C-alpha cells in the first residue's frame, strides 16, 4: 500500500499551502491573540475558505459539501498546522458537523450543514466535563419534560463554543457517569434561556468555552440519532477528530523540523555553523525519522476511516500515540536548538510548542491511545 498523496490531494495541498501562507501566517495568530479578538479568528477569512470548498469537504453534495474524504481534509489541516491557523475545522466541521452528519435527520442536516458548508454557520460539540479526555465521564442530565427534555450540567473545553450558532450537547438520559450507554446528543441554541457560554483561552491562544446548562428545555426534535445511543455517534466522531488533529500535529512538527534545520545551517558559534556539530546532526536525524513515521501513520489512519476498515480505530490510536510522542520530542528539541531566543515570545518556535502540547493532550495523550490500541487488539 502506497502511503503518499494522490495527484488530487497534492493539488489540494499546494493550494492550501499558498493560501494559508499568504492569508494566515504566524503574524495572523499573533494579531488575534494580542488584540484579544472577540472571535479568535477572522469570520471573513473563514467564509473565504468555505467558498474554496474546504468547510464542506467531508459532507455530501446534498448539503452543499464536496463529498470527499478525511484524507483530503487532513491535507488542509496539516497545512494549518504549519502556520498555526486558528480556524474551526476541528470544532465546527469534524466534531459538531460530524455528529450531525452521522446522527442528524435530513431536516437537521439541511438546516445546519448547508450553512456550515457556506461558512455562514458555526458549530461546537460540548461533551467534556473533566480536565482530561474521558469521553464517557458525563454527568450532565437530560430528563423528560413534556414532549421534550430538560438539560442541566456543565461542560468544559468546548472548542470555539463562544461563537457557535448551534451546540451539540452530550447529556445522560440513563445510566451513570463513566458508562458508555445512556448518553444522548441534543442540538441546543446557545441563546436558549438557562444556557450560559463563557469564553476562555488555552495556552496556545485557541478558544475553549465553558458551557453551563441550567434547566435548558429542548424539544424531542433536537435529539441527534437515538435516545441513549449517542456514544455510537461519538465513537465515530472522536476517531475522526483524533485523526484530523494528528494531521495538524504532522504539520506542526514538519514546520518545526524545517525551521530548526534552517537555523542550524545559519547560526554560527566558535566560528562555525552549529549544524556541523555531530551531536546536533544526530538529533536532527532523529527528528526527521519521527516526522516521516508520523506522516505515514496519519495518512494510513485517515484512509482507514474513509475506507471504513474494520480496524480503523486501532490505526487511529496508533497515529495519535505516535504523533503525541513525536510532537513532544520535536518541539522540545526545536526550542532547545534555537537556544535562548527560543524561549522568547518574539521567536515563533515557542508558539509551535504550545500548540503541540495542547494537541498532545486533546482527545487522549500517548498513554491513553497505547492503552486503547492494546484493548482493541485484544491484549
Digit-coded pLDDT (tens) for 332-359: 999 999 999 999 999 999 999 999 999 9
pLDDT of residue 159: 98
Res 89 pLDDT > 70: yes
Query: Average pLDDT, whole number, for the chain?
Result: 96
Say how many Å lie between the first and final Cα of the chain, rounded: 26
Q: Quote the CA–CA distance of 93 and 99 in Å, as a whole number.
A: 9
DSSP calls for 194-217: TEEEE--B-TTS-BEEEEEEEEEE
Digit-coded pLDDT (tens) for 232-264: 999 999 999 999 999 999 999 999 999 999 999
Q: Quote the CA–CA distance of 340 and 139 in Å, as a whole number.
A: 46
Q: Quote the CA–CA distance of 7 and 75 in Å, as a whole number.
A: 12
Alpha carbon 340 to its chain centroid, in Å, reads 31
Q: Quote the CA–CA distance of 50 and 116 in Å, as a whole number.
A: 8
Grid cell at residue 364: 487522549
Residue with the bigger pLDDT between 170 and 340: it is: 170
| Mean pLDDT value across residues 292-317 | 97
pLDDT of residue 2: 72
CB atoms within 10 A of CB 285: 10
Strand partners, 149: 144, 218
pLDDT of residue 292: 96
* Contact call for residues 352 and 255 (beta carbons, < 8 A): yes
Reported as a pLDDT band with limits 50, 70 and 90, residue 76 is very high
Q: Which of 223, 244, 378 is nearest to 314 (CA)?
A: 378
Q: Which of 170, 149, 311 is nearest to 234 (CA)?
A: 170
Q: Which of 145, 127, 123 is nearest to 136 (CA)?
A: 127
CA-to-CA dists, residue 16 to 67, 77, 282, angstroms: 18, 9, 32
Q: Quote the CA–CA distance of 187 and 166 in Å, as a whole number.
A: 7
Digit-coded pLDDT (tens) for 202-225: 999 999 999 999 999 999 999 999
Grid cell at residue 181: 450507554
For Cα atoms 98, 57, 224, give the angle at the middle one, nearest 5 degrees: 20
Q: Quote the CA–CA distance of 305 and 300 in Å, as a whole number.
A: 9
Q: Quote the CA–CA distance of 32 and 83 in Å, as a whole number.
A: 14
pLDDT of residue 37: 95
Contacts of 272 (CB under 8 A, 6+ apart): none
State the pairing for strand pair 123-126/166-172: parallel
Looking at residue 22, the DSSP 8-state letter turns out to be H
pLDDT of residue 1: 64
Reported as a pLDDT band with limits 50, 70 and 90, residue 379 is confident
DSSP calls for 138-152: ---EEEEETTEEEEE
Amino acid at each position: 500500500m502506497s502511503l503518499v498523496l494522490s495527484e488530487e490531494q497534492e493539488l489540494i495541498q499546494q493550494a492550501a499551502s499558498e493560501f494559508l501562507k499568504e492569508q494566515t501566517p504566524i503574524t495572523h495568530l499573533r494579531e488575534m491573540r494580542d488584540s484579544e479578538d472577540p472571535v479568535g479568528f477572522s469570520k471573513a477569512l473563514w467564509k473565504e475558505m468555505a467558498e474554496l470548498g474546504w468547510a464542506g469537504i467531508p459532507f455530501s453534495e446534498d448539503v452543499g459539501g464536496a463529498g470527499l474524504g478525511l484524507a483530503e481534509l487532513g491535507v488542509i489541516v496539516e497545512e494549518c498546522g504549519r502556520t498555526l491557523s486558528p480556524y474551526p475545522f476541528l470544532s465546527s466541521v469534524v466534531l459538531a458537523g460530524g455528529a450531525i452528519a452521522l446522527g442528524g435527520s435530513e431536516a437537521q442536516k439541511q438546516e445546519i450543514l448547508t450553512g456550515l458548508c457556506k461558512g455562514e454557520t458555526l458549530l461546537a460539540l460540548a461533551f467534556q466535563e473533566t480536565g482530561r479526555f474521558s469521553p464517557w465521564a458525563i454527568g450532565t442530565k437530560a430528563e423528560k419534560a413534556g414532549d421534550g427534555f430538560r438539560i442541566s450540567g456543565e461542560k468544559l473545553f468546548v472548542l470555539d463554543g463562544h461563537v457557535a450558532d448551534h451546540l451539540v450537547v452530550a447529556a445522560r438520559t440513563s445510566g451513570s457517569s463513566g458508562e458508555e450507554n445512556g448518553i444522548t446528543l441534543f442540538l441546543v441554541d446557545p441563546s436558549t434561556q438557562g444556557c450560559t457560554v463563557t469564553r476562555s483561552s488555552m495556552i496556545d491562544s485557541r478558544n475553549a468555552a465553558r458551557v453551563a446548562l441550567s434547566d435548558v428545555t429542548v424539544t424531542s426534535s433536537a435529539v441527534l440519532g437515538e435516545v441513549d445511543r449517542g456514544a455510537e455517534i461519538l465513537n465515530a466522531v472522536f476517531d475522526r477528530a483524533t485523526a484530523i488533529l494528528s494531521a495538524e500535529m504532522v504539520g506542526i512538527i514538519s514546520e518545526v523540523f524545517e525551521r530548526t534545520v534552517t537555523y542550524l545551517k545559519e547560526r554560527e558559534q566558535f566560528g562555525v555553523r552549529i549544524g556541523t556539530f555531530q551531536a546536533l546532526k544526530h538529533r536532527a536525524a532523529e527528528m526527521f525519522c519521527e516526522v516521516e513515521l508520523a506522516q505515514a501513520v496519519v495518512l494510513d489512519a485517515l484512509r482507514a476511516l474513509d475506507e471504513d476498515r474494520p480496524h480503523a480505530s486501532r490505526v487511529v490510536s496508533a497515529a495519535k500515540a505516535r504523533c503525541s510522542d513525536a510532537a513532544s520530542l520535536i518541539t522540545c528539541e526545536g526550542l532547545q536548538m534555537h537556544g535562548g531566543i527560543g524561549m522568547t515570545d518574539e521567536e515563533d518556535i515557542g508558539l509551535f510548542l504550545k500548540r503541540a502540547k495542547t494537541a498532545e493532550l486533546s482527545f487522549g495523550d500517548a498513554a491513553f491511545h497505547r492503552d486503547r490500541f492494546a484493548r482493541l487488539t485484544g491484549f
